Structures are given as C-alpha cells and as structure tokens.
Structure 1
Amino acid sequence: MDRRLLTTVAVAVVLVSVAYVAPIAAQGHLPSAFRRPPTHTAARASTTPTPGGAAATAASTPAASTPTASATPTPTRTLKDMHAWIVQASCTADVLDSPSGSWLLTAAHCGASDSVQAAGRTWTVVDEVTTADVDSAGADTEDLRLLRVDGNIEAAVGGGFVVGTAPADGAMVSIWGYPSATGELTGCDALTVSAAADGLSVDSCNLPDGTSGSPWYGADGVLRGLTGGPNEGGTSDWDSESIRFTDGTVSWIRSVVG
C-alpha cells in the first residue's frame, strides 16, 4: 500500500478516537481502558476472624459490676429482751420457738394452768402435755409440762426459746421467774451452774415460790434447764435446781411442739 495512504488512515483513526473519548471523559465516564489506576485504594475490610470470636471479645470486656445486696443483720437480743419470753401461769412458763408459736414449757409439779398472762392480755390454755402422756418419756423428761395457748404468743412477745441440752459444769446462766407473792419478774444473771449426773443447781439467787418453771438460759437464747425436778425446784429459795436436759429431753419437746 502507498505510504501516504497509510499515514492518512492512521490520522483518521486518531481523530475518530479523540472525537469519541473527549465528550465521555468530560462527563466522568471514561472507559476503564482509558483510566489511570488510582494512586490510593481503599483498604479492604478484613474477613479474617478474630481469634476466639465474639466469646473472646466478651471475655476481654470487664463485666459490669452488680451491686451485692448486703445481708440483713440479725437483730441482737439482750438478756433483758428475753424477759418478755418468760410469762406467768400457775407458776412461771417459758415461750418456746415453735412452728405455731403457741407452745410454752413449765414444770409439771406446778399443776394445770387455765390461762397465761403475756403481752398485755390473757391467753387461754387449750392443751397440755406432760411426760406421763408420752410412753417414751424417761427420767430425763420428768417434771416438764408443755402448754398450748389459743394464739401465736411467740409473735406477741417478740420471740421464744430454743431448747438445748444442759450446760457444762461451771457455765453461766440466767434464771428469771414470777414469785407468787409479788407477781413481778425477779431473778439473776451470770449464775454459775453446778452440774451433776442427776441434775443442775445454783445457790446464789433468791428465787421464791412461784419461780418453778423458770428458764435456765444463756445470751444465745437457748433454754438449757428449768427450775423443777425431784425437789420441786430446790430445797430452799436460795437453792434452785433443774433436771438435766439431754438429747432425749430435746427430742421429746420437739416431738410435741414440732
């Protein structure tokens, strides 16, 4: 082909290309073949999983602290507070901690009681149980009488005694009761117990007639003895006695009051 003809054709192709591309480039639609690669490319989102996944992320994030509710403190009862648990019956009777809140313990030799005075009212005795009513009762439950009244006397007086076994020799107890002559609560704290196989005794507190059935207890509110026994509570006002509470005593009381 003639060299001049080839030159003419090449010039024509260039002119056609310019005529086509220029308007498109002006509108921002330059074909990819004619674009310059971008100098900076956007970082591609990583698809590589984080070691441990969501669980690891959660584990590394400190958990929000949850406030811990403080334990409600147990009200502290004093020996004087427990005086309300000691009431007047035919002698002295002691309110027990029981499911029904209606049981009291006294001495059997005091005889039957029709009523109990406590918390500003009269409570009617609706049931009585003595060791003679229970076939399994033995010497360790002699001279005890349980009384049930017509309501929750435990709630009315603010609590009741838990029954436990006898204190050790030399232990300290409180003994309070209602003398028949005055009808006013009297007694002593920090009395030293003399413990023997057949019973307990104290000899440094004046506890006259009417205080039979008085509880022998400590600051823990556990009743571990009761004025009574073979000598009906002692040989004199200054010599108080109690039967020795054993596991059998505790079991017998629980079998009745629940």
Structure 2
Amino acid sequence: MHDAGKVHLIGAGPGDPELMTCRAVRMLQEADVVVYDKLVSPEIVAMAPAGARMIPVGKSPKCHPVPQDEINDILLNEARKGHVVARLKGGDPMIFGRGSEEAAYLMAYGVVVDYAPGITAAQGASCATGVPLTHRGLATSVQYVTGHRQADKVLDLDWKRLADPDCTLVIYMGVANIGQIAMGLMTENLPGSTPVLAVGRATTPDERRLVSRLDRIAADVRAAALTAPTLFIIGKVVSLYAEQPVAELVEQVKAHG
C-alpha cells in the first residue's frame, strides 16, 4: 500500500498478451488492486502481481452484475485507501471503453489517474486478418462506430454520413443490431454487394472470421452462430482478404458442438 492512492487506466488490447504495451505491463505489475473487465483475456489477468486483490466487474449483453456507478465507487474507495489500482480494460479504454467517464469521476474527487493506451479491437482484427483499415485506391478514411446504444435504445446513427463507399466502417458491439445497421447503410445507397468481414475474439486462440456482403451479413452471422465480442469491418478493403465461405464456418461450429 502507498501513502497516496492512484488509478492506472490500462488498455489490455484485444486479447493477445504480446500486444500489450510495455507501459501497460509495468502499470499492471505495480498494482495493489486490479479491477478488470470480462473482455480481458485470462492470460493477461494472470500477469497481475501475486499479492494483488482481484475484483472482476465484467459485463455482457443484457447482464451487468456490477453497474457502472458501483465500478466508479470501487475505484474511488480503493484509491482512497492508498492503493495503486489497475483498472484493466479490453482494447483501448478511451475507445468505447468508458475510460473517460471513470477518469472524470475519479478526478472530481481528487484522485490521480494516469493512462496506458491499448491496441483497440479494430487494429487487432486488421493485423490478425491482414485486412487494412485504409488502402490507397480503396479507402481514404476510417470510422469507428458503436453498434449498441445504452439501455438498448434504438440506433439513431447518421446513416447518410456513414454510407460512404470510400470509407472503411468499423462496427463495435454490433452483433445484435447488424441487420438494422446493414439496412440503414443500404437505405442511404451503400451497395448491398459491399464486402463485410466479421471477426470474433480477434487475436485470441478462439478467433473466428466470416466474410459476407452487406445484404447477407445478418443471415450469415445467425447461420454461423457468431456471438459477442465480434467486430465488423465494412468496405472495399475487405476485398483484400481471402474469403472464408459462411458454409465452412457453419461446419466449424457444428464440429465444435
């Protein structure tokens, strides 16, 4: 324990421990207390110091056993006890990770917060599959978008802005709403033939990939039984990936029970 507590807001990356930054590893190994999410891989959780107190606060779709307000209070109370707290989040805590919300809460009470950025899921999936997020002649920009709204509210995204054929669109947390997302994009004239790559649990031993088209992705995801966490890369860059037919992926699902 230390005289003055602090919180390290750490990005654990998409799953592969080798993708953590040196800064993230150092911060984790300094911790007296580790507060970690469900998306953090067991291999990374195991890197915590032997004597650290481990507090799981993971969420899954429609299941939030530890509400965000309670997570905020855990971080605050542990820091006030003089502990160095590692708040360990999958991906990058500042990209759809609520890291800024937790930091703002803590800093309002005078708690010192520092950061270790992590490789976000989009970058992990891109490098794991060889599909670039930008590529000369195919995509001049990339947009990261959440496919889920708080409290399961209806998605009210700016479909017209997102339906840019020269942009790569990356959808986080979109399994449940991928049909609605595809329809919204096609309504704004993004062609149904636009290729889509779905990557589940990118960079981990359980990684699964599926190549489809915008007008078939919802049906193909159901047929392949893809579940969260799955990331969707939508755009012409997906044409650079060697396609794995959905039928092959369905057979893999059957083989593994």
TM-score, normalization by structure 1: 0.22
TM-score, normalization by structure 2: 0.22
**Structure number with larger C-alpha Rg:** 1
